[in-house]
Amino acid sequence: SQQTPTRRGTLIVVEGLDRAGKSSQCELLRDYLSEQGHNVKYIRFPDRTTPIGKLIDSYLRGSANQEDHSIHLLFSANRWELAKSIEQDIAAGITLIVDRYSYSGAVYSAAKANPTLSLEWAWQPEIGLPQPDICLFLSISAEEAAKRGGFGAERYENESMQTRVRELFRTLFERQKDVCVVDAGRTLEEVSRDIQAAVSDCVAQLDTVGPLRTLG
Ligand code: TMP
Ligand code: MG
């Protein structure tokens, strides 16, 4: 007898500034999709558990310094080292929720205003990585972010960096037409309802989309 091929999983990326509510929304989405009968995994970048991830973690905590281009390539390498396992999970029918991805990668590095580290340069090492089926950008104003409490102690968690990151996310997502912008300045419930609707549409269209694509 013939076996029904496994329906592939969906690659879902959630992006946004610090305090936009990414982690809470990823958890709510995981619970929602599990209740719908999906086999779900929630991962995040940077993955601080690998050897490369440990270098990134010390850099973010400020206990180590790295040259701008060098740390950028480590963030990218941290995605490349997991690319195979992402592809395998998707092929095995697992739906992956990914907290930050190549978009954060390009934007945070370009926000340093290093003259030889443009958004274009920063995007190059991402080319060829698994392309998300849907990228949800949790958009929050500087004022709303400020209301949600102070910055953390890690590198990049300061007003001037966050302002540049916000502008660059906007620039990047004006070019990437396939991003789903969600107004994250509302209640958890309102935001999660929009996310669920967008993800459900995406999952429903998966058969017409075909296999997992790669970032270009
Ligand atoms: P986190 O707060 O989501 O753990 O992310 C840690 C910081 O790393 C955050 O400020 C965004 C930044 N980042 C990059 O600079 N490049 C990347 O590729 C990723 C995934 C995150
Ligand atoms: Mg953080």
Instruction: Please tell me the distance from the alpha carbon of residue 70 to that of residue 72, in angstroms, as a whole number.
Output: 5
Set out the domains of the chain in order of their start, with CATH numbers.
Answer: 11-209 (3.40.50.300)
pLDDT of residue 41: 98
42 Cβ closer than 6 Å to some ligand 1 atom:
no
DSSP letter at 124 equals G
Instruction: Please tell me the distance from the alpha carbon of residue 197 to that of residue 157, in angstroms, as a whole number.
Output: 31
Q: Which of 100, 135, 161 should be mutated for ligand 1, with most atoms under 8 A from CB? A: 100
35 burial (CB, 10 Å; 0-12 / 13-18 / 19+) is exposed
ipTM for the predicted complex: 0.98
pTM listed for this prediction: 0.96
| Residue whose CA lies nearest to ligand 1 atom number 10 | 156
pLDDT in tens, 39-74: 999 999 999 999 999 999 999 999 999 999 999 999
pLDDT in tens, 197-216: 999 999 999 988 999 999 99
pLDDT of residue 142: 78
Residue 157 near residue 18, CB atoms below 8 Å: yes
H helix intervals, 92-150: 102-110, 119-123, 142-147
Amino acid at 119: L
pLDDT of residue 6: 84
Q: Which of 104, 123, 124, 172 should be mutated for ligand 1, with most atoms under 8 A from CB? A: 104
